[in-house]
Every structure is written in C-alpha cells, then in structure tokens.
Amino acid sequence: MGWDMYNFAGKVAVVTGAGRRSGIGAAVARRLAQDGAYVVVGDICAPPSDLPSAGSGGWEELTTLAGEIEALGSHSLAVRVDITDAVSVQAMVAEAKETFGRLDILINNAGVAIGPAPVVQMEEEAWKRTLEINATGTFLCSKYALPLMIGGGRGGRIINMASIAAVRPKPFVSAYAASKAAVVALTRSLAQEVAGYGITVNAVLPGDVDTALKQWGLKLEASVSGASYKQVLKAALARIPLGRLATPEDVAQLVAFLASDQASFITGQTYNITGGRELT
C-alpha cells in the first residue's frame, strides 16, 4: 500500500465512533489491525438525537467491521457504547479487559455535529448534546480507560479526534467548534497528568474529510445557500491547496503514527490534517 507500517503486535486498541464503515473510526480500526493490533470497535449504533445530524453507524455495520478486522488476521470485539454515559463506558472497558486483558491505545473518535445554526436560533438541546458527546464523551472514555492502561505498566497512547474547527471555526457551527476546542484543551492538560506513566496524549485536527458527516454538511450548506451540492463542493475544494478532500485513510495514517513507538516522545500536541486549508 506504500504506507509506513508499525508494529502493534500484542497491543490492544479501543476505537470509538467506528460504526460508519466509511468513516474515520473504521479506517483507523482497520489500519491499527493491519499493523497487528487487536481492536475493540465501539459505537452507539443509534441516532444520537431527534435534532438534525448525520446520525451514527448501525450495529450491523459495526459487526461487519469487526469481521473485516478478523479477516485481516487480527482479533476484534464490537461493543455498543454510549460515550456520554459513565456506566456504558465502564462496561466497554470491562469487556475489553475481559476479552483481551489489557489496553494500550485509546482513539477517542466518536463525535457529532448536531443542529448547526446561528447562535440566536440554535436549540439549547443541540448545544448541550454536541458538547456532551464530543467533549464529555472524550473525558469519560479517557477517565475510565486510563486505570487499565496505567495498571498495565507499559505506557500507552490516547489520540483524540478534534477538528480544524477548534482553531479555525466557521459560522453556524459554534457548538461543534466549542466542543472540539474543549477536546484540544483536554488533550494538553491530560498529557501532563499521565506523562509519568509513559502515556502520551495527542489530538488530530482533520479538515474536510470525505465522510457521511461531511457530505451531510455540504448538502445542508447547499440547501441553506440555494447553491447546488456540486457548487458547494467546488467552493470547498477551492479552499484546500492540495485540491481534494481528505480520505479517512489519510487520517488513519496520522493516527497510526501517533499510536506507534516512533511517536513515544510526542505528547500534548495538535496535528492539522487539512491539505493546507487553514493557510488560505
């Protein structure tokens, strides 16, 4: 494939928000498995809200992904998890421990953009749910995964999926931007707390990635602006110096590096993966 390969043999990873087989979480899970990791894939497998959103992956998609990982010669466990619920998160970690006995890598990928709108028109529930899933969910997964990771005494990796919106927010997505900025701040604070255990914590900030969430956002932008989907996409591509959307696999390559031994001296950092969009 022309990718640098890393050695995750014997290591166990948890990837949240992996239910969409065409999404970033699924691409990350496959990539870690290709490099030898056993992967727990989690998703809520239900729409997170009645408010407008891109929805989540289904249980069938999640179990199919687990089957794909097994076909790669690795092992996988599919778990239905609500990352906003502490009991559900604890149950996921307990399943990982019972099945694989350890945890080395946590990918906090699950995230949503619910009910984007001008602040004066935004539903309070949309604001609350976006912050709850993106920020509080990342906190809860880290909180309950860390004891297993620390207890193993082998160090570890936490990689949080933020967004370029955390540092270059656009109008009408204030809840999403605020939640991802919170993820960046959590990353920097937590990195200092767990460094003594050999655990690194970093954040990845994707730009425009060709996923169901991005396609939903572009369609929403088209409907609001009165432009066609093709026009909105063309304008989006014009803002990216490299001239294309990222693929989920582009993001997965960066995540794999940060999860690897080669990144053992990198912590508390944020990595834009945008094709240069923030430069324009």
Show the domains of the chain with their CATH numbers: 12-207+247-271 (3.40.50.720), 209-245 (no CATH)
Percent of the chain with pLDDT over 70: 96
Q: Is the pLDDT of residue 2 over 50?
A: no
The tens digit of pLDDT for each residue in 42-92 reads 999 986 556 767 777 889 999 999 999 999 999 999 999 999 999 999 999
- Please tell me the distance from the alpha carbon of residue 143 to that of residue 165, in angstroms, as a whole number: 24
Joined tokens for residue 174: 């204030």
DSSP classification of residue 84: T
Cα-based torsion angle of the residue sequence 223, 162, 25, 242 in order, rounded to the nearest 10 degrees: 70
Q: Report the candidate in 248, 265, 269 with the shortest Cα–Cα distance to residue 31.
A: 248
Residues 6+ apart with CB under 8 A from 228: 222
**Residues 105-124: pLDDT tens digits?**
999 999 999 999 999 999 99
Active-site residues, by number, are 176
